[in-house]
Amino acid sequence: MSFDRDLTRLPEAINDEDYVIATYYLETPMDIYKAANAFAAEQSTGTWQRVGYETDEMREVHGIKVVGIYELPYVPAGPNLPTGTRMSEFGAGNVKINAAVLRLAFPHINFGPKIPNLLTAVAGNLYEMGAFTAIKLLDLEFPQSFLKDFTGPKFGIKGTRDIIGVYDRPLVGAIIKPCVGVSPKQIAELAYQGAKGGLDFIKDDELIADTKYNTIKARVKTIVKALKRAEDETGEKTMYAFNITDRMDRIRELHDIVVEGGGNCVMINAATAGLEAMRELAEYTQVPIHCHRDFAPMWARSPYLGISFHCITKLFRLSGADQCHCGAVSGKLYETDEEVLTNIRACTLDFGKIGPSTPVSSGGQWAGKVPINKRKIGHLDFIHLSGGGIYAHPRGAEMGARSVREAWDATLAGITLEEYAKDHEALRTAIEHFGAPVY
């Protein structure tokens, strides 16, 4: 497991196809190079002491290889994670903590094409190491030899657009509000109003489940009927994502209820249901999967612990998300716009045989956020998703939906929203109610 201090890439004799490359941010009072060795041993063949059957031959095939160590000038003032009594091992008083970026190569023969086992390898016991005072997985790079056993998104951007029949602009979407407490009949009416206003996509809130007061079966029956009525009146199709997040042994059953009832999309809270649950659904599904990312910020938000959202988005895509929440451009969530754009890029970057996911910009969106979404995202292949920005419109959901459609019409035509609003009531009312547009 030893290595040279100048090593910055895999040795030429090693086949890159045999390894998943993981990049980490690390803080530790240890010498960075000793820490990397300890890191590599803990997550592959060894432990803190070499054991009897851990031969050099075993290490060569199954051991982690250190690809790169990049020491950083930043010196943390103190431990950014609790360490118990471990700091005393590094001397009394103020202990200097080192910071670095590590790139490690994990032989995927150790875990195979299975997400739980992959995560155990790249993000397992190392998070418990007392001598690591910050540890965050920043990225994963997958070789084709690893990706070949994954289905990825079955529908993706093109499949989503084909169902709706919209190709020349972003898809305008809404989240049903209120989140919970509404009946199937009430949700159907809210969906109908939004569809009448021009929504391409509507979804259950992530909090809505298959409950006694609002079952999937009842919801499908009422909503599909309501959306067919809206389509007959407007000539436009609307996709509806029914939340089928549940116990693993019920997800397929709920999917079948949606499909047999005429539904055209299902939704899963992938972080709470589990990535392999979504992967299994992706291999089975007959309709697109809308992937909600609730709970995942617990893994991603801290700069000192967890997994980056860029990396999580890659895992969502690998596991079959046809549509993937990426945060909000100029929204209400914690991420910067650049972080959101990094997540959006993870949905469409070259991923070998794995097709693209449809990025979703969601969180504090309304008609006035259209211009900045258009400018910053830089392409039209995404869902612009609003909740209160549509359902809190003072003239109702139909006018809320219409305001966002009008905002996209104006923006794509190169007209300011203020100018366009002079002759478009829904947009004008939205600006009066929500505030100034954001460019």
Residue-range domain boundaries for the chain = 16-147, 156-434
* Token pair 């051991």: residue: 63
- Helix 309-318 with 275-284: angle, nearest 10 deg: 30
Q: Does domain 16-147 have CATH number 3.40.50.300?
A: no
How many C-beta neighbours within 10 Å does residue 249 have? 7
Tell me if 68 sits within 8 A of 102, measured CB to CB.
yes
Report the Cα 362 to chain-centroid distance in Å.
12
**pLDDT value of position 122:** 93
Tell me if 331 sits within 8 A of 369, measured CB to CB.
yes
What CA–CA distance (Å, rounded) separates 401 from 221?
23
What CA–CA distance (Å, rounded) separates 202 from 240?
5
Q: Fold match between 16-147 and 156-434?
A: no
**pLDDT value of position 46:** 53
Angle, vertex CA 246, rays to CA 243 and CA 250, nearest 5: 105
* CATH node for 156-434: 3.20.20.110
Longest dimension (CA), the chain: 80
Report the Cα 113 to chain-centroid distance in Å.
20
pLDDT tens by residue, 223-262: 999 999 999 999 999 999 999 999 999 999 999 999 999 9
Question: Which residues does the chain have with pLDDT short of 50?
Answer: 1-10, 13
Tell me if 362 sits within 8 A of 328, measured CB to CB.
yes
Handedness of CA 394, 395, 400, 402 (dihedral sign): negative
What CA–CA distance (Å, rounded) separates 414 from 427?
16
Give CA separation, 417 vs 116, 329, 362, 393, 410, in Å.
Answer: 47, 18, 20, 16, 6
What CA–CA distance (Å, rounded) separates 379 from 244?
30
Residues 6+ apart with CB under 8 A from 314: 139, 140, 346, 351
pLDDT tens by residue, 270-315: 999 999 999 999 999 999 999 999 999 999 999 999 999 999 999 9
What CA–CA distance (Å, rounded) separates 64 from 42?
9
**pLDDT value of position 43:** 62
Give CA separation, 366 vs 170, 390, 405, in Å.
Answer: 14, 7, 10
Phi, psi of 342 (to 5 degrees): -65, -40
At position 129, the amino acid (one-letter code) is M
